[in-house]
Structure 1
Amino acid sequence: MPVENTAEQPYVVGSKSFTAVAVNCAAKAGEWIKIKLGTHTSLNTKYSRQDLVTEMDKGAEALIRKLVHTHFPDHAFLGEEGVEPGPEASAQALRNVQDAEYLWIVDPIDGTTNYVHQFPFYSVSIALAYKGEVIVGVVYDPSRDELFVAEKGKGAYLRNRKLSVAEEEVLSDSLVATGFPADPIVAYPANMAQLQAVAPKVRNIRAGGSAALHLAYIAAGRLSGFWEMNLSSWDLAAGSLLIQEAGGRLSDINGEPYHLGVRNILATNGKIHEELKDTLLSAGGV
């Protein structure tokens, strides 16, 4: 496992490390999907009409899987496109690999709807968990060529600059983000109620359409908080480490500690966590 970097030295990814493989996979997949932007020939829905998949999602995941297993053939792999649609299938897929010593957790295009519409807010999300704990997290935004990388105990970085979360201490000073869930029956109405509760209390709200990038933006101090329901481990795992290493906080919406099985996420700079949690809960449970 990675060790803590106690010296004040520039952060360098070792050429043979888990992190180097994650970075290489994200960069190659990101370059490929950016080149293919606007050329998809198949477009299908999965769990709902808002839950899209293209051949680019599947191709990028196959590329990442091949690269990972070239270096680490014995490691387990959990990718979004290898799982049947729906929350139950996602939860079962995680249970099937939860006992793996090393588990790669991958979303090849987080923000497929944006990608399909050529809206430049999508990302490649790659995490490595060791015995259920995320030890490497990489989120790559091909549109801006921004690669966010975190290694447990070594901090979170963007272009060799160490990241830290925003300083806002109250909701009224905060820019926060949310995402609109694919489940139209339970999660979407609950999200609308939460949105109505949060909006009057914050500086403003954004909904970019990529949970992984929203989490990376919290680590970078660009957002102070984010919540969304009905997400899966591949949406959250990489970003969770970015936030933790940048000094932020994650939990489920009820305030319980984050783990790979959490689906209703609340992520903040830490300072506004309780206030945002209480505001969300005031809108009713899910």
Structure 2
Amino acid sequence: MSEQVIGGKSFTAVAINCAAKAGEWIKTKLGNHTSLSLKYSAQDLVTEVDKGAEAMIRNLVMTHFPHHSFLGEEGVQPGPEASDRALQSVRDAEYLWIVDPLDGTTNFVHSFPFFSVSIALAHRGEVIVGVVYDPIRDELFVAEKGKGAYVRGRRMNVSQEEALRDSLIATGFPADQTFALPLNMKGLQALVPQVRNVRSGGSAALHLAYVAAGRLSGFWEIGLNAWDIAAGSLLIEESGGRVTDVKGSPYDLGVRHVAASNGRIHDEFLNALQQAESNS
């Protein structure tokens, strides 16, 4: 997919502009949001900042590309079934923007400075542009299909670890306490003794960007959505890493249980996760 421009407007430039503008606005609201409500569970939060950032991104995208499709987290009802339905309705669109306007809302609410804006563009189901922006550190992670991935304008490469025992791995704690969380905890219990250490920063998109940048050896989480993973998946692939589901199937927009790594540890990583599941 080499045609990245329509009518003189670069897809990547628009994605970067949207992420930067939304991120800067989100930063001004840190410690200053006024509404907080629950979505799927007591751990699944939304504020007026999430909604405002998504509206800002949607309006900017539609100004440039009015005929493109748009899938944003805040436009979808809470829960995994609603997420699946929303994705199925648009996943084969010619051009689909996939947006998490504020990935790490719980962190944002607590003024814990680890959250991001995630914007991806898929062409007939294949991610061709991925942007993750951390407004606190002013770090912009950007990838174009076939053109590499960059942070602060520098080319990114995944880390060099060859074995789990030398690896720093990240995960999250899913809001779905009936299915996803227990499964994730089994993986956590199995992996902690096998790796150098585990981190949980609270933004899946930023964790994926950190795998791409070589700051993490791998990341997994059960029960994510397309808007959590799409941009980060391209960042990692364009940095030389590997993204699959936890069973090892190649990444596509429908993957919810994701495993991402530098590629070198991937098989050992998947084996540990699958053993944890089968031992349950």
Compute the TM-score of the two structures, normalised by the length of structure 1. 0.95
Aligned equivalent of 1:208:
201
Cα distance, 1:34 vs. partner?
Answer: 0.2
Equivalent pair of 1:3/1:154 in contact (CA under 8 Å): no
1:68 aligns with 2:89: no
Select 1:165's aligned residue among 155, 158, 165: 158
Matched, 1:272 2:259: no
Aligned to 1:10: none
Report the identity percentage.
71
2:47 matched residue in structure 1: 54
- Structure 2 residue 210 is matched with structure 1 residue 217: yes
Q: 1:260 aligns with which of 253, 261, 270?
A: 253
Q: Do structure 1's residue 134 and structure 2's residue 132 form an aligned pair?
A: no
Q: CA shift at 1:64, angstroms?
A: 0.1
- Deviation for aligned residue 1:3: 6.3
Structure 1 residue 39: Cα displacement: 1.2
Amino acid at match of 1:178: T
Residue number in structure 1 paired with 2:136: 143
Does the alignment pair 1:2 with 2:14?
A: no
Matched, 1:36 2:29: yes
Query: In structure 2, do the counterparts of structure 1 residues 3 and 99 end up closer, same or farther at CA, with 3 Å as the change threshold?
Result: closer
Say if 1:2 and 1:135, in contact at 8 Å, map to a contact too. Answer: no
Partners of 1:187 and 1:32 lie apart in 2 by 32
Q: CA deviation at 1:160?
A: 1.3
The counterpart of 2:236, out of the listed 221, 237, 243, is 243
* Post-superposition offset of 1:2: 2.7
Structure-2 residue corresponding to 1:20: 13
Amino acid of the residue matched to residue 229 of structure 1? I
Equivalent in the alignment of 1:79: 72
CA distance in structure 2 between the partners assigned to 1:235 and 1:281 by the alignment: 22
Summarize deviations over 1:178-222 as a string: whole Å, max 9, x none: 001111112111111111100001000000000000000000000
Question: Match for residue 11 of structure 1?
Answer: none
Question: In 1, distance between residues paired with 2:104 and 2:31?
Answer: 14
**Following superposition, which runs of at least 4 residues in structure 1 exceed 3 angstroms of deviation?**
none
Q: What RMSD, in angstroms, separates the aligned Cα atoms of the two structures?
A: 1.2
Unaligned 5+ residue runs, structure 2? none
Q: Is the counterpart of residue 187 in structure 1 residue 180 in structure 2?
A: yes
Q: Deviations over 1:136-183 (max 9, x none)?
A: 000000000000000000000011110000000000110010001111
Q: In structure 1, what residue type is equivalent to 2:13?
A: A
Aligned to 1:9: none
State the Cα deviation string for residues 73-130 of structure 1 (Å, max 9, x = none): 0000000000000000000000111221000000000000000000000000000000
Does structure 1 retain, via aligned residues, the 8 Å contact 2:38–2:46?
yes
Quick one: structure 1 residues 245 and 3, their matched pair in 2 at CA, closer, same or farther if it must change by over 3 Å? farther
Separation in structure 2 between the aligned mates of residue 265 and residue 99 of structure 1, nearest angstrom? 21
TM-score with structure 2 length normalisation? 0.97
8 Å contact from structure 1 (residues 251, 258) kept in 2: yes
In structure 1, C-alpha distance between the alignment counterparts of 2:229 and 2:45, rounded to whole Å: 18
Cα displacement (A) at 1:16: 2.7
Q: Secondary structure at the match of 1:20?
A: helix
Any unmatched runs of 5+ in structure 1?
5-14
